[in-house]
Each structure stands twice: as C-alpha cells, then as structure tokens.
C-alpha cells in the first residue's frame, strides 16, 4: 500500500495499492505502509494515521503452534514424561497443554515443584498458593520437594563444580536447580521433564523490559537487542554470564535427567520473533502481555487460579521460591556474608587456571 502527501501542506493526495496509481510529480512525497501496520484515513482533516495491529488469527496461531511443540516433545520421549511447575505463567501454560493431551491419551500425569524452607520450617514463596490451586483444579498428582540451609551446605561445592561458574546469580539459582534434580532422582523414576523456560526471552518478561526502566513500552533498539542477545545465548553459560538453558541442563544432567523446553522450539521462536515488538509490551507492569492475550481465553483456569494476573518475580523458572529474602540470607550466612568471594574461591579450587 502506498500514499502520497503534498510537500507543502502535508495533505494526502493519493492512496493506491501500486505506485503507478499515484499522481507522481515534483510536489509530492511517496510513502509505503510498513508490514504489520494499519493506516486510517480521516476524510474531514485529510490526514493518515499509521498504527500497529495484531489479528486474532495471530493469537490463535501462537496457541496452536505452542500446543504442537508440547505434544511433539511428549511423543518423542521414549520414557514417561513429567512436568516441572513453579506457578509462573510459562510453566502453567505448558502444564495445561500437557495435561489436556496426556488425559486424552489416558496417560499418567505427575507434576513436581520445590520450595525453600526457612529456619522456622516455612516457605515464603509468593507462587505456592497459585501453584497448588492450579494443580488441584487440573486434578493431577503433585509432588512438592523442599530444601533448606543444610541442603545448600552439603551441595554448594558440587553445584559450582557442575555449573562451572562463580557468577552470583548463576550460583544462587543453580543451587535450587541442582538440589531439585537431586531430590527428584532420589524420589522418582522419571527421567524426562517439561519446563516453561523461555517465555521471558521471547515475550519480554524480564524486568529490564519494564517501561519504567527503558522508558518505552515499544520494542526499542536497546530492548530488542537485549531480547535477541538473550535468545542467542540462552544455551550458553560461562563464569560471568547466567543463562537458563545450559544452567538447568548441567544441573539435571548431573543426575541423568533431561529437560525439554517447548517455548524454545525453533519454529515457535521464529514466529514470535516475526511479530512486531510493540505487541509484547511491559504494559502497566504486566509482563508477557502477548502471551497472556493468547491464553486468557484458551485456558480460563489460568484466570481462576490468578496465575495470569500474578506479577513475575526475578529468577523464577520452575521453582516456586524464586530467591526469597530468607533464602538469600541463608546463602550469606553460609558464605560468611561474602558470597562473591566464597563462590570464586570454590571455583578456583576446581578450575584454577581459568
């Protein structure tokens, strides 16, 4: 679609689907309507406004495409598959899709989650209630695994050795990953699991996409580069960068377990990246907005359990606790209130020349 404007007063001269249909002369400028844009023409003021739009069919395609990625990973598994659930939106959507399919196949469904228990024996997870409610509404088997400060003390050296990193946030979250995998290995025969990792990288769910930080709800150059960077390196890990996939894989592989990530299916990533970033805003502190638009009506149970409205907490993947204050305090005590030095010292013990 093309349109021409008068160079002097900016009024619309011609609108046409082909350039040859425009009244081309030296007094006009020619403009092209960009993909994923909608133009509206005001007859009274003779002006054109260009705006973004997203068709309902795109939301339906997201739903159907993700469903196919989940089913593909379930069917390709040679052993029974279980689910890791934190109460987050991503893991909840994967859970709903998997439960719907597995029930249609008359197959068993087993969900695992984990919390950090403080010194009083209580969990401070903000997702624990929603996680329990969703599983109860879906009527599936839930196994809740807990860990405490003693589990951290007993495993901290092995965790840093296994993840090959001393990065503060990597170690903090890997502690939960490693102990989770260890306890799953000790309590079940499941070997393969589905996870909701990948939503933040695809749908701008991280806090640095917040408009209060980047000062825009649009996919600015900076946030777009950050999103692509996170997607490109989500499979990697090194001493000073923390990325979910390899971190999780290393922890679970240590116990002969495998995690599958439906959100990071190549076809699904390709399609989501093709959608204009304006449709993935951090709207009113509401992250993963496009994903919520797609699934709000598909699975009403997500609204009933309040998961679709619950704000995301930092570092959450498939563990309910998500670095609570009591958990951070416990780590500080173990490390004599100098975590960075503690982790680097342990790292150097195993990798002295790196």
HEC profile for the chain? CEEEEECCCCCEEEEECCHHHCCCCCCEEEEECCCCEEEEEECCCCEEEEEECCCHHHHHHHHHHHHHHHHHHHHCCCCCEEEECCCCHHHHHHHHHHHHHHHHCCCCCEEEEEEEECCCCCECCCCHHHHHHHHHHHCCEEEEEEECHHHHHHHHHHHHHHHCCCCHHHHHHHHHHHHHHHHHHHHCCCCEEECCCCHHHHHCCCHHHCHHHHCCCCCCHHHHHHHHHHHHCCCCCECCECCHHHHHHHHHHCCCCEEECHHHCHHHHHHHHHCCHHHCCCECCECCHHHHHHHCCCCCHHHHCCHHHCCCCCCCCCCCCCCCHHHHHHHHHHCCCCHHHHHHHHHHHHCCCC
What's the pLDDT at 197?
A: 86
Residues 46 and 61 in one domain: no
Domain of 226, CATH number, reads 3.40.50.620
What's the pLDDT at 225?
A: 55
Whether 352 maps to a domain, the answer reads no
Whether 348 maps to a domain, the answer reads no
CA angle 218–314–256, rounded 5-degree value? 115
CA 63 to chain CA centroid, Å, is: 15
Span 164-189, pLDDT tens digits: 888 887 888 888 889 999 999 999 99
What's the pLDDT at 50?
A: 65
- Say whether pLDDT at 3 is over 60: yes
What's the pLDDT at 235?
A: 47
Quote the mean pLDDT of the chain. Answer: 79
Is residue 279 within 8 Å of 62, Cβ to Cβ? Answer: no
pLDDT band at residue 214 under the 50/70/90 scheme: very low
Among residues 252, 234, 251, the alpha carbon closest in space to that of 243 is found at 234
pLDDT band at residue 117 under the 50/70/90 scheme: confident
d(CA 284, CA 292): 13
- How many domains does the chain divide into? 2
Whether 112 maps to a domain, the answer reads yes
CA angle 258–69–196, rounded 5-degree value? 55
- Say whether pLDDT at 219 is over 60: no
Q: Which of 82-86, 107-111, 203-207, 303-307 has the lowest mean pLDDT?
A: 203-207
- CA dist 247 to 174, 226, 237, 313, 354, Å? 7, 19, 7, 19, 18
Report field, pTM of the whole predicted structure over 0.85: no
Is residue 266 within 8 Å of 68, Cβ to Cβ? Answer: no
Mean pLDDT of the region 282-290? 64
Mean pLDDT of the region 231-256? 66
Residues 188 and 43 in one domain: no
Whether 353 maps to a domain, the answer reads no
Whether 349 maps to a domain, the answer reads no
Residues 25 and 115 in one domain: no
Residues 161 and 306 in one domain: yes
Span 263-274, pLDDT tens digits: 999 999 888 888
Mean pLDDT of the region 26-32? 83
pLDDT band at residue 213 under the 50/70/90 scheme: very low
Span 7-23, pLDDT tens digits: 888 777 788 888 888 87
Last residue of a domain, one of 10, 28, 52: 52
Whether 140 maps to a domain, the answer reads yes
Helix axes 168-187, 339-350, angle to 10 degrees: 70
Question: What is the extent of the structural domain holding 337?
Answer: 56-343
Residues 46 and 60 in one domain: no
Last residue of a domain, one of 52, 78, 93: 52
Q: Give the residue with greater pLDDT, 97 vs 149.
A: 97
What's the pLDDT at 65?
A: 95
Among residues 187, 183, 97, 199, the alpha carbon closest in space to that of 140 is found at 97
Among residues 240, 254, 245, the alpha carbon closest in space to that of 157 is found at 254
Which pair of structure tokens corresponds to residue 292?
Answer: 């919520």
Span 297-338, pLDDT tens digits: 899 999 888 888 776 655 444 444 445 566 777 778 888 778
CA 47 to chain CA centroid, Å, is: 40
Whether 104 maps to a domain, the answer reads yes
pLDDT band at residue 56 under the 50/70/90 scheme: low
Residues 337 and 239 in one domain: yes
Share of the chain above pLDDT 90, in %: 33
Residues 256 and 312 in one domain: yes
Residues 48 and 157 in one domain: no
Residues 221 and 324 in one domain: yes
Residues 15 and 101 in one domain: no
Which pair of structure tokens corresponds to residue 290?
Answer: 């496009």
Whether 350 maps to a domain, the answer reads no
What's the pLDDT at 283?
A: 52
What's the pLDDT at 12?
A: 76
Last residue of a domain, one of 16, 31, 52: 52
- Say whether pLDDT at 96 is over 90: yes
Residues 6 and 65 in one domain: no
pLDDT band at residue 95 under the 50/70/90 scheme: very high
Residues 30 and 137 in one domain: no
């Amino acid at each position: 679609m093309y349109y021409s404007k008068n160079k002097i007063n900016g009024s619309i001269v011609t609108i046409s689907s082909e350039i040859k249909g425009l009244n081309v002369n030296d007094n006009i400028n020619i403009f092209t309507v960009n993909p994923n844009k909608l133009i509206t023409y005001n007859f009274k003021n003779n002006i054109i406004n260009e705006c973004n739009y997203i068709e309902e069919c795109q939301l339906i395609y997201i739903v159907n495409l993700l469903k196919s990625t989940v089913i593909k990973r379930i069917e390709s598994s040679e052993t029974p598959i279980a689910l890791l659930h934190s109460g987050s939106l991503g893991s909840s959507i994967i859970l709903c899709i998997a439960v719907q399919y597995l029930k249609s196949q008359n197959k068993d469904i087993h969900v695992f989650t984990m919390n950090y228990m403080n010194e009083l024996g209580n969990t401070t997870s903000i997702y624990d209630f929603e996680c329990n409610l969703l599983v109860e509404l879906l009527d599936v088997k839930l196994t809740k695994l807990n860990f405490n400060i003693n589990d951290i003390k007993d495993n901290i050296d092995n965790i840093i050795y296994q993840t090959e990193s001393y990065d503060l946030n990597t170690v903090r979250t890997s502690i939960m990953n490693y102990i989770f995998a260890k306890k799953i290995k000790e309590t079940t025969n499941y070997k393969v699991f589905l996870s909701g990792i990948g939503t933040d990288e695809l749908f701008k769910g991280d806090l640095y996409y917040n408009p209060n930080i980047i000062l825009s709800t649009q996919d600015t150059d900076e946030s777009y580069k950050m999103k692509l960077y996170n997607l490109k390196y989500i499979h990697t890990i090194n001493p000073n960068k923390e990325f979910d996939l390899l971190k999780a894989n290393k922890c679970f592989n240590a116990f002969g377990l495998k995690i599958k990530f439906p959100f990071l299916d190549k076809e699904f990533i390709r399609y989501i990246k093709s959608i204009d970033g304006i449709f993935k805003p951090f709207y009113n502190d509401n992250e993963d907005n496009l994903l919520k638009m797609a699934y709000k009506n598909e699975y009403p149970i997500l609204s009933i359990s309040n998961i679709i409205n619950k704000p995301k907490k930092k570092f959450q993947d498939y563990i309910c606790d998500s670095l609570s204050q009591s958990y951070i305090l416990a780590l500080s005590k173990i490390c004599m209130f100098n975590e960075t030095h503690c982790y680097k010292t342990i790292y150097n013990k195993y990798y002295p020349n790196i």
